[in-house]
A and B are shown apart, each in its own frame.
Chain A
Amino acid sequence: METLLSLLHGFTVALEPSKLLFCLIGVFLGTAVGVLPGIGPALTVALLLPVTFKLDPAGSLIMFAGIYYGGMYGGSTTAILLNAPGESASLATALEGSKMAKAGRGGPALATSAIGSFVAGLIATIGLAFLAPWLVEVAVKFGPWDYFALMIVAFVTVSATFGDSPLRGLTSLFIGIALGLIGIDKLTGQARLTFGVPELLNGVEVTTLAVGLFAVGEAFYVASKRSHAPEEIIPIKGSLWMTKEDWKRSWAPWLRGTAFGFPIGALPAGGAEVPTFLSYSTEKRLCKYPDEFGKGAIEGVAGPEAANNASAAGTLVPLLTLGLPTSATAAIMLAGFQQYGLNPGPLLFAEKPDLVWGLIASLFIANVMLVILNLPLIGLWVRLLAIPQPWLYAGIVVFATMGTLAVNGSPVELAMLFIFGFIGYLMRRYDYPVAPMVVGLILGPMAEQQLRRALQISLGDPMILLENPISATLLGIAALALIAPFAMKGLNRFKASED
């Protein structure tokens, strides 16, 4: 009840015209930069920090929050339309979304992602307002062993992206994990697999690999086939808007995606990638039309996109309640708080309730603004696909290059983009799935670091993984998920032989 009153009070702050204006600027900027690969909300807020420090604290924090949510919306647009996931969290969205776009269903894909983001953002922000103090208690209990077990669960579910050959899927995954080894080992500061090239010390950038494999690789592939089997892109087929069927198939993935995204996002080392992978594979398993997966199933866009946005709200839980920045954007937002002499944490709720609750209320408003801003834009975005194919792909390659250069303007990084692009082409040619490689690059280093931290704390005793209830449970789930498909198959065969 008290929370509700505080929240209502927050709305009176957030609905002041000046705050609304800040919020609008924020969501607009966020959407704009989210569309650019490589330029995420973290960078935007960082670049704006010096400009804003003379502004009113509540106003600029509301603007930052708008950028954050807006960036999450914008990221899915390029993933769906151009098959260029600008950040690791929209990788799963690109898998089905880009297939839908090419089949003329870009409109419904963008719509389900926008509405899914809205629904997820709404539920997760309610969660943030009411469950934050309780959730954070659980979240800090997560130790390195628990994170490791969570990564294992995520690894097991990756098989959903394997396509029809486990061998080729596993090969792709292992190459990704191998790429993750490149660079400085976080726990000892040692260089691994850098072969004396200093540019490799920072490791392989996820966006470089993802954009290279997805966007550049696709350009190579389409060009190589053009003379005998030209690719057909249909800008719009059927309705631009979601059909009744689309709605029916989207609502449950939205909710499930939120259920993955919010709690995992609230974990200090949870991140946005793991919930999107979990959501993708869950939807693939539950979908009534499993054949459509890989060809543009709407569930595969609705779920991960909701998970992505819910995790963004989840990240704000440890940030606001404990002052724990758990993502790059949250870290920058923390710097934003600190430049006004504010320290997020339990005290902030007591000392500056206007500001905190005004911020939370403005998240609701940002969410509404975003859906209003994004839905009419869909018609405009989809028209991008009507650009003549040579220009469209030339533009995609330019876009990919620009994103890489903005983050790291070295020729070595560009050379990697080119090589990954060519590998992506060869993989398409011989029917190797590309997504597991990116997943391996994301999850591999996370799993390794958490396992090594766990073993460092336990002084080398591996039993620590089974002694803790959370990690033991998660490992159990992973084992079940691994065995279940085989067991089912065996059971089916057994039944079949009985008939």
Chain B
Amino acid sequence: MTNETRTQGADKPALIVGVLLLIVAALIGYDASQQTITSNYGVGPTAMPYVVAAGLTILGLAHFVVAFREGLPKPDAADGTALLWIAGGLIFLIACIGLGGGFVIAIAVVFACTARGMGRRALAVDAAIGFVLGLAIFLVFAKVLTLILPAGPLEQLFL
């Protein structure tokens, strides 16, 4: 907004954060405007959302200013493959639990994928370790704490 001499433009990450903050602020404001029920006395359920939305708007605008000035700290290069391994493991976990595949298999995969993301190259061994770990956790929870973690066909064998 201020620095007109810089031609190479603004710091992209800061701009993106600014835009995201404005979107979140708009969402919160919209949601509050849709509330139908208010309190009889004092302030209602919409007051705080409006305050937060206003705060986020100011912070979003401040990010724009920063974008045209110093920008956000420049990060180091990131290893995308490693991130994908861990994210993939977690997404499998969510799907596995959601579709009733059970805790133990989900944990085995998460363990193996995270270890792979951290640089190990022994998926099968790690999956086996994860499997034993998951089974042990499941059994301790089920037998000692009487808490049943999400159970699939495999877990049913042990209950």
Contacts and interface: CB of A to CB of B under 8 A. Distances in A.
Interface string A215-251: 0100110111111110000000000000000000000
A415 B73 CA distance: 28
B78 A224 contact: yes
Contacts of A429: 75, 78
Interface residues of B, number: 73
A200 to B, nearest CB: 12
B147 A188 contact: no
B19 interface: no
Contacts of A417: 90
Given A418-B94, A430-B75, A452-B42, A178 B24 contact: yes
A325 B42 CA distance: 27
A406 B86 contact: no
Contacts of B139: none
A431 B72 contact: yes
Contact of A418 (B39, B72, B91, B145): B91
Contacts of A389: 118-119
Interface of A: 39, 44, 47, 167-168, 170-171, 174-175, 177-178, 181, 185, 187-190, 192-193, 216, 219-220, 222-229, 388-391, 393-395, 397-398, 401-402, 405-406, 409, 411, 414-415, 417-418, 421-422, 425, 429-431, 444, 448, 451-460
Given A181-B49, A401-B107, A225 B78 contact: yes
Ranked nearest first, the 4 interchain pairs of A and B with the lowest CB-CB distance are: A455-B42, A411-B98, A390-B118, A394-B114
Given A178-B24, A418-B91, A185 B59 contact: no
Q: Is the interface of A mostly helix, strand, loop or mixed?
A: helix
A394 B21 contact: no
Nearest to A454: B42
Given A398-B114, A405-B97, 12 more contacts: A175-B56, A178-B52, A178-B56, A188-B39, A223-B117, A224-B82, A226-B119, A228-B79, A390-B119, A418-B91, A452-B47, A457-B42
A226 B118 contact: yes
Contacts of B77: 228
A47 B146 contact: yes
B145 A227 contact: no
Given A226-B82, A391-B115, A174 B59 contact: yes
A411 B103 CA distance: 12
B56 A422 contact: no
A181 B86 contact: no
A171 B21 contact: yes
Interface string B72-103: 11011111101101110111011101100001
Nearest to A459: B41
Max chain B Cβ within 10 angstroms of own Cβ: one of A178, A193, A402, A448: A178
A221 to B, nearest CB: 9
Max chain B Cβ within 10 angstroms of own Cβ: one of A39, A174, A389: A174
A229 B147 contact: no
B154 interface: no
Given A391-B115, A398-B133, A430-B73, A171 B59 contact: yes
Max chain A Cβ within 10 angstroms of own Cβ: one of B27, B56, B115: B115
B111 A224 contact: no
